[in-house]
Every structure is written in structure tokens, then in C-alpha cells.
Amino acid sequence: MTLHLLVMLAAQPVLEAEIDSQTREDDELPPSSVLPYTPHFEGKTLSGLVCGPEVKNASVKKLLQEGTRLTDSKDLAEVKRALPKLQRALELDPKAGWAYLILGSAHAKLGDPQAGTRAYETYLLSCRTYPNADRVQRILTDYWRATGGKDDPTPRR
């Protein structure tokens, strides 16, 4: 039975966590602002988000920097510590769009595709013209295709 469970887990699609790695293929495709995108993951369009890491509030900026540093770690315990920092950044400044991007990456690394896709999609829908939005769109589109068009291939807890 354990072998069967391992085979099932190995077959689960993985939500990509690396949002800043650019490939040659990425550079050859048009930006996401001109590619159509259909939302699939309960992401929201929020107006007026600050799409990059440049926020005015010093506390929020520090939380974003720390959350980003922790998310970049190979140690999943460190990545897990990023979540409350990024969520706190959004509580203090709901317009801190960068937090959605980093939350998507953190959730993906932690194996939570439902939360990861929702955060990534909120970032994408709200920051269509920001330079890394096309990379986020490709991550979401690839994941959608890999799951066979299912929003969340894992059972809800």
C-alpha cells in the first residue's frame, strides 16, 4: 500500500515555485498583457496594487524582504516561516502586490497548489503589465494543463 501511495504522489502535478528564472523560451513569447488568460484558481483582480517590491511603508518593506529571503531558502522550515510574514505584510498594506507573488512561490514550494495558484493568479490578474507577469501566467497555464484542467487535483482537507 505504501508503494501505491508513493506512485500516486509522484504522479501529482507540481506547481512551479521559481518565478524569477527566465528562459530563452520566455523571452521569445509575447508579454502576458497581450496573451489572453482565463482565471481558473479563485484569484482576484485587485486595483491599485504595487506590483514590485518597492513599497512606501518601512515595516511592510522589511516583511517583504524577509519573506522573500525565507522563500528563497532550500529549507522548507524556512519557507514555512515566510508565510506569516507575507500575510502580515498584506494585512498592513493590502496593496502590497509583491506579497501575492512571493506567497504563490512559498505555497508552491510547500506543496500547497491550491493556495499557490490562488496567490499567483491574484498577482497575475492585478499586475498584467508588470515584467514578470508573463512568467507567472506560464506557470499557471502549465499547471492548468498538467492537472488536466482541474483547479485543484488534491483532495480538500
Q: Which tops the pLDDT comparison, 118 or 23?
A: 118
> Which amino acid appears at position 127 of this protein?
C
More confident: 39 or 99: 99
More confident residue, 10 or 96: 96
Contact call for residues 52 and 130 (beta carbons, < 8 A): yes
Cross-strand pairs, 96: 50
Reported confidence tier of residue 56, pLDDT bands at 50, 70, 90? very high
pLDDT mean over 67-76: 95
Band (12; pLDDT cuts 50, 70, 90): low
pLDDT of residue 130: 86
Q: Is it the case that residue 143 has pLDDT exceeding 80?
A: yes
Cα dihedral value 133, 142, 125, 115, nearest 10 = -110
Query: Which of these ranges, 6-20, 60-74, 79-93, has the smallest mean pLDDT?
Result: 6-20
CB count, 10 Å around CB of 79? 21
Answer yes or no: is pLDDT of 3 > 60: no
- Is pLDDT of 104 > 80? yes
Whether 44 shows a pLDDT value over 70: the answer reads yes
Structural contact between residues 143 and 13, judged by C-beta atoms closer than 8 angstroms: yes
**Could you give all domains of the chain from N- to C-terminal order, each with its CATH number?**
40-146 (1.25.40)
